[in-house]
């Protein structure tokens, strides 16, 4: 008797007819690893279950936001309480004010903040502000760093683009792409040369202080301070893209961990507690240039959405409990089998090479052929990681000893 097809398979067959590639974000597809993605129906703590009843220990965490795990009861309660009074008003709410105060109290250098709906909106708006206040057009980013899918930032953007083999997307006008200089990450000399050639035209340097879209690549010692110094010398702004690292690698993000503060900072993921949200902010004199206080325009119908604010506030309050970040530092640190773990706080990545990974070229030099079969063996043994060798994995407060032990055993089997 022939068994019925899996429900995930049936859903994917339906999805490809209505959704490009069957997914609403390219990184969710399994093109780089083979097979079809499971369709998830529920999550609790560090575990998820697909529509076929298969259970996994989850290291994707909705691509980073779920630092407290799935369906944390206090976060759910905060959202339900807010939900009863309405979902959105397009008007100011008390929750927005408290949330803005919380963000500014915890993130170094954050004097004023504007809420938006995604990390892409946050980085796009920060760059508009930087160009508006400096009167310059050029932006510097770094190879393998992803800052959202706005046109000017889809240049050597890592992660999904690397996985798909299309680092520069069709549909981005050459005139727009030409306003972005992409340089090697962790290379201060390259940035110094760029400033020597184009310094008077560079509005801002934007960086992931810990690169999370070519795995997990920490900054070399002195690198972030070097960026700060070069920007100051040239009169350019330094934008710290902490959409991934904010409240993830320390209570005050990477700026606290490394002691270097940008003129502007972009936030997202963790600050929404699993709901769509983003934020950008920084020095008060800069943020005062944004409309309606100033002439630089940015708006959003759902910005500061009450549900997202409630989830985010509950999440940040819970992260203030004693010992949270110390606990997040304890996780898998080695795998053996010719694989190398790199981690910063609760972000980590496994590379199939012995030498450290400092930039995109190092990441590309890994044994890429090993990743798909290892991924599939992990999935078969109940471990869910991103279907891309260029993505970070995320540990949360819900990853208990049983989950870590199961993961270690699965890794041993996968690497054998």
Which sequence positions are flagged as catalytic?
146, 241, 269
- The residue assigned the tokens 């508006």 is 132
Q: 234 vs 196, 204, 335, CA distance in Å?
A: 9, 10, 44
Count the Cβ atoms, other than its own, within 10 Å of residue 42: 11
Helix (H) or strand (E) holding 349: strand 347-351
Query: CB of 208 within 8 A of CB of 146?
Result: yes
Query: CB of 281 within 8 A of CB of 110?
Result: yes
Is the dihedral angle over the CA atoms 242, 248, 252, 253 positive or is it negative?
negative
* Cβ-proximal residues to 196 (8 Å cutoff; 6+ apart), any chain: none
Q: Order of strands, edge to edge, in the sheet holding 340-344?
A: 340-344, 347-351, 393-394
- DSSP string spanning 125-179? HHHHHHHHHH---EEEEETT----S-GGG-BS--HHHHHHT-SB-TTS-HHHHTT
Count how many Cα atoms sit within 13 Å of the Cα of residue 277 in the half-sphere of its side chain.
31
Q: 113 vs 103, 296, 333, 361, CA distance in Å?
A: 8, 15, 35, 35
């Amino acid at each position: 008797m022939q068994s019925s097809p899996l429900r995930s398979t049936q859903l994917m067959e339906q999805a490809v007819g209505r959704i490009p590639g069957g997914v609403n974000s390219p990184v969710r597809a399994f093109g780089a690893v083979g097979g079809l993605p499971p369709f998830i129906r529920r999550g609790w703590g560090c575990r998820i279950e697909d529509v076929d009843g298969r259970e996994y220990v989850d290291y994707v965490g909705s691509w980073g936001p779920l630092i407290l795990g799935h369906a944390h009861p206090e976060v759910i309660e905060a959202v339900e309480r807010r939900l009863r009074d309405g979902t959105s008003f397009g008007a100011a709410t008390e929750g927005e004010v408290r949330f803005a105060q919380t963000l500014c109290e915890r993130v170094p250098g954050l004097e004023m903040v504007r809420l938006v709906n995604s990390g892409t909106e946050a980085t796009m708006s920060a760059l508009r502000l930087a160009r508006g206040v400096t009167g310059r057009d050029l932006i510097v980013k770094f190879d393998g760093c992803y800052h959202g899918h706005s046109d000017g930032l889809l240049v050597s953007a890592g992660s999904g683009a690397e996985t798909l083999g299309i680092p520069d997307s069709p549909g981005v006008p050459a005139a727009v792409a030409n306003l972005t200089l992409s340089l090697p990450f962790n290379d201060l000399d390259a940035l110094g040369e760029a400033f020597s050639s184009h310094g008077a035209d560079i509005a801002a340097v934007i960086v992931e202080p810990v690169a999370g879209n070519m795995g997990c690549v920490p900054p070399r010692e002195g690198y972030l301070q070097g960026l700060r110094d070069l920007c100051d010398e040239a009169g350019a702004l330094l934008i710290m893209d902490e959409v991934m690292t904010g409240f993830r690698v320390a209570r005050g993000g990477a700026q606290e961990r490394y002691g270097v503060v940008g003129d502007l900072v972009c936030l997202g993921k963790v600050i929404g507690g699993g709901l769509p949200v983003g934020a950008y902010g920084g020095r008060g004199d800069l943020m005062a240039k944004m409309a309606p206080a100033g002439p630089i325009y940015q708006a959003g119908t759902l910005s500061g959405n009450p549900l997202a604010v409630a989830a985010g506030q509950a999440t940040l309050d819970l992260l203030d409990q004693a010992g949270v970040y110390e606990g997040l530092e304890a996780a898998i640190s080695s795998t053996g089998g010719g694989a190398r773990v790199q981690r910063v706080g609760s972000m980590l990545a496994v590379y199939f090479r012995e030498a450290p990974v400092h930039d995109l070229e190092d990441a590309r030099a890994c044994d890429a052929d090993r990743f798909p079969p290892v991924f599939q063996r992990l999935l078969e043994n109940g471990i869910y990681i991103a279907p891309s060798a260029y993505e970070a994995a995320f540990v949360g407060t819900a990853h208990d000893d049983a989950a870590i032990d199961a993961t270690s055993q699965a890794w041993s089997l996968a690497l054998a």
